Structure 1
Amino acid sequence: MNKLPNHTALKEWSNVVAALGRGEQVVLIRKGGIADPSFGVDAERFYLYPTYFHQGESESRPRVAITHWCEVVRTWTIRDAEQLARLETEVVLPRETLEMRYRFRADQALYVIGVRTFALPAPVEIAFRDAYAGCRSWISLDDEIDVTDSRAVLGERELASRIDALDAFLAVTASA
Structure 2
Amino acid sequence: MNSELALDQKIALKEWAVAVKALTDGKQIMVLRKGGIAEETRDFQLKSPRFFLLPAYEHQKPELLKEAYRDELKAVLEAWTPGSPTVEISAFAEAVADIEINDQETVDLLVNYHIWTDTFTEDRLKWKRKQPLHLLLLRVYKLEQPAELPMQDAYTGCKSWVDLESFPANAAAHPVLDDETFARQAAEIRRAIAR
Is this a same-fold pair by TM over 0.5? Answer: yes
Question: Could you list the per-position Cα deviations for residues 42-101 of structure 1 after superposition, in whole angstroms to 9, with x for gaps in the alignment?
Answer: 111000000101126786432111000101111211111011222221111222111111
**Once structures 1 and 2 are overlaid, which stretch shifts more, 145-154 or 36-45?**
145-154
Matched residue, 2:25: 22
**Contact between 2:110 and 2:193, CA under 8 Å: does it hold in 1?**
no
Indicate the RMSD between aligned Cα atoms, in angstroms: 1.8
SS in 1 for 2:47: coil
* 166 and 2 in structure 1: CA distance in 2 versus 1, 3 angstrom threshold: closer
Whole-angstrom distance in 1 between the partners of 2:182 and 2:13: 21
| Deviation of the 1:133 alpha carbon | 1.5
Whole-angstrom distance in 1 between the partners of 2:96 and 2:168: 22
**Once structures 1 and 2 are overlaid, which stretch shifts more, 11-20 or 53-62?**
53-62
2:51 maps to a residue whose letter is F
2:107 maps to a residue whose letter is L
Matched residue, 1:81: 104
2:130 maps to a residue whose letter is D
SS in 1 for 2:123: helix
Compute the TM-score of the two structures, normalised by the length of structure 1.
0.91
Point out where structure 2 has 5 or more consecutive residues left out of the alignment.
62-76
Whole-angstrom distance in 2 between the partners of 1:96 and 1:167: 22
Matched residue, 2:58: 53
Point out where structure 1 has 5 or more consecutive residues left out of the alignment.
none
**Contact between 1:67 and 1:123, CA under 8 Å: does it hold in 2?**
yes
State yes or no: 1:35 paired with 2:38.
Answer: yes
| Deviation of the 1:156 alpha carbon | 0.7
| Deviation of the 1:3 alpha carbon | 4.4
Whole-angstrom distance in 2 between the partners of 1:109 and 1:125: 34
**Contact between 2:5 and 2:172, CA under 8 Å: does it hold in 1?**
no
State yes or no: 1:92 paired with 2:95.
Answer: no
1:24 maps to a residue whose letter is K
**Contact between 2:147 and 2:167, CA under 8 Å: does it hold in 1?**
no
What is the aligned-residue identity percentage?
Answer: 31
1:42 maps to a residue whose letter is K
**Once structures 1 and 2 are overlaid, which stretch shifts more, 16-25 or 141-150?**
141-150
Question: Could you list the per-position Cα deviations for residues 125-165 of structure 1 after superposition, in whole angstroms to 9, with x for gaps in the alignment?
Answer: 11110111110000100011355320000011111111111
2:35 maps to a residue whose letter is G
SS in 1 for 2:106: helix
2:132 maps to a residue whose letter is A
